[in-house]
Structure formats: C-alpha cells, structure tokens
C-alpha cells in the first residue's frame, strides 16, 4: 500500500515550499495548494508533488478545492495549514473586504478542510495522523498595522484547541507560531538589523527551523492541542 500524502496549503513559496521540498527529500508524497502559478511549481511537479490551484478567498473556492482534493487522494497522513495573506489594515471602503478575505484564508479554509477531510486522515494506515496550523507570534501581542491579520491568526490558534479536543485520540492537532524566519526580497540591511534586534537570538534563522518544528510534531505521538513558538525568544525582550 502506498504512503498517504501530506497536504500543505500555500505550498508554492517560502515556508510552505521549503517544507514540501524537505518532505519530498524524506520520501513523503506531498500535495500542495497554490493561489497562482509560479515557476517553482514546475520543480515540485517534477519531483512528484501534486499541485492543486485553490482560491480560499471565498467559501465556494474552499469547497471546490476540497472536492478536487478528495478526487485526488483517498487518504492523508497530515494537513499543514500554511496558506496565508499578510495584508495590512486599511481605513477605506475596502477594509471590510480585506478582513473578510483574511478570515476566509486563515480561519474558514482550515475549519472547513478539517471538517470535510477528517475521513481522509482517518483512512491513513499509519499510526499517527496530524493537523498543523501555522499561526504567528503576533497572536500573543496584536498589531497596530495588521490588526485583521493578527485577529484571524488568533482565531486559527483557538481552532487548534477545539479540533485537538474533538479529534483526539486518533488525530493530533497542533500549531506552530513563527516570528521572523526569512527576509523578503528587497529588505535592506537596515531593516534586517532592526528585525534581528526584536529577539534575544538576534538572527534570521531561515526556513529550516520551521521544518524541524513540523517534523517534531509529525514524529511525536504524545503531543496535541499545543502551539509551538518559533520566535527566537521575542517574549524575553
């Protein structure tokens, strides 16, 4: 019997792509969702990853993705909810639309996928099955410029507790809450220095620390309902 794949939403770039690549390195079949076509997807496809386009900005788009996912696989080893939208707050007429989009991407999509794909996880023949929510350090302190983002990620963090209680003991549900992990293209050294100074570790660690954290959760049979901070000790500043 072939191994059940790991689903990573938002797996075409940055942290999601790194985790997909590392899982493939470790011999795990992978399915990723992506919002728009990117050159990096060709390499993932060449390596055997299944790629499914998805629009999580509407309920119809979420349900369409779930239907196509179920047509693609009969089981899942894990679901990693990595899809995200780092949209700043606005004060114009689009403020409500932006908030609704963040709610759908960060909360409604994971909620509906968890509900509708429980049967895929339970069909996995391996002894462990996981759901991992990628939240954010900002959940614990809020944000003056990304209040809607922080609120929707906080909602996802709370869903971790609810689904962990609901799905135990057969499915483990945890979260990873990163702070600064990677710089963006165009970030200059002045920005990087300011960013590093926010944590006591004073570093930009790169995406490997997120895969290490994901690997810990996927390999540990006795952890559920927790949020694993990967923030370099920001709370110590």
d(CA 50, CA 74): 14
d(CA 135, CA 196): 20
Find tokens 């963090």 and name the residue: 157
- Name which of 196, 171, 169, 172 is nearest 182 in CA terms: 196
**Helix boundaries (H) for 13-146:** 14-25, 40-46, 59-72, 95-103, 109-116, 118-122
Token pair listed for 107: 């909360």
Active-site positions read: 149
């Amino acid at each position: 019997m072939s191994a059940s794949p790991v689903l990573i939403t938002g797996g075409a770039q940055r942290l999601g792509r790194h985790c997909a690549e590392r899982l493939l390195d470790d011999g795990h079949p992978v399915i990723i969702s992506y919002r728009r076509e990117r050159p990096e997807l060709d390499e993932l496809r060449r390596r055997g990853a299944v790629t499914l386009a998805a629009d999580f900005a509407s309920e119809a788009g979420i349900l369409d993705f779930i239907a196509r996912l179920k047509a693609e696989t009969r089981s899942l080893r894990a679901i990693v909810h990595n899809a995200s939208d780092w949209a700043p707050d606005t004060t114009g007429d689009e403020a409500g639309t932006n908030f609704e989009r963040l709610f759908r991407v960060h909360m409604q999509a994971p909620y509906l996928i968890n509900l509708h794909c429980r049967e895929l996880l339970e069909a996995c023949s391996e002894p462990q099955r996981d759901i991992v929510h990628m939240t954010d350090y900002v959940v614990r302190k809020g944000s003056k410029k990304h209040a809607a983002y922080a609120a929707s990620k906080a909602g996802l963090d709370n869903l971790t507790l609810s689904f962990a209680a609901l799905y135990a003991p057969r499915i483990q549900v945890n979260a990873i809450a990163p702070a600064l992990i990677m710089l963006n293209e165009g970030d200059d050294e002045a920005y990087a220095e300011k960013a590093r100074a926010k944590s006591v570790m004073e570093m930009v660690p790169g995406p490997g620390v997120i895969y290490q954290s994901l690997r810990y959760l996927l390999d540990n049979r006795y952890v559920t309902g927790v949020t694993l901070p990967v923030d370099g000790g920001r709370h110590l500043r």
